[in-house]
Amino acid sequence: MIISTTQSVLGLASGMLVGFSLGLVGGGGSILAVPLMVYVVGVPEPYVAIGTSAIAVAANAAVNLSNHARGGTVVWVLRPGIRRRGDDRRVRRLAPRQDGRGT
């Protein structure tokens, strides 16, 4: 798929609009990004726009998790899990601490 200069500019403007709206309301970027990619930028197939949006969200989440982990704001704790009914003492799983200190 060849992207023209016009599509590149429209994609950049759409991304800025989605980013600005996310800054205002705090969520729901994909519900804005996919229609903008299909109808404004001109991505030919909706599934390509959905996949592109999902990759962007995953990359953003991975970068931000890395930043928070390096900053020490992510606390990883082993918690008891359930392997089978009634046997939750011997199995451990990775889970965030839920004692009210941070997220």
Instruction: Report the alpha-carbon distance of residue 11 to residue 100 in Å, rounded.
Output: 41
More confident: 51 or 102: 51
What is each CA distance from 2 to 10, 11, 20, 49, in whole angstroms?
Answer: 14, 14, 27, 15
pLDDT at 47: 92
Interatomic CA distance for residues 33 and 12, integer angstroms: 11
Closest CA to 12 of 33, 30, 26: 33
Give the per-residue pLDDT at 24.
Answer: 81
If you average pLDDT over every residue of the chain, what do you get? 76
Looking at the predicted structure, is the pLDDT value of residue 19 above 50? Answer: yes
Structure letter (DSSP) for residue 13: H
How do residues 69-92 score in pLDDT, each as one tens digit?
898 888 776 655 545 544 444 444
Q: What is the pLDDT of residues 25-42, one digit of tens each?
A: 877 777 888 988 899 988
The confidence score (pLDDT) of residue 86 equals: 47
pTM for this entry = 0.59
Other C-beta atoms lying within 10 Å of the C-beta of residue 98 = 9
Sorted by where each begins, the domain ranges of the chain are 5-82
Cα–Cα distance, 6 to 11 (Å, whole number): 8
Q: Residue 4 is which amino acid? A: S
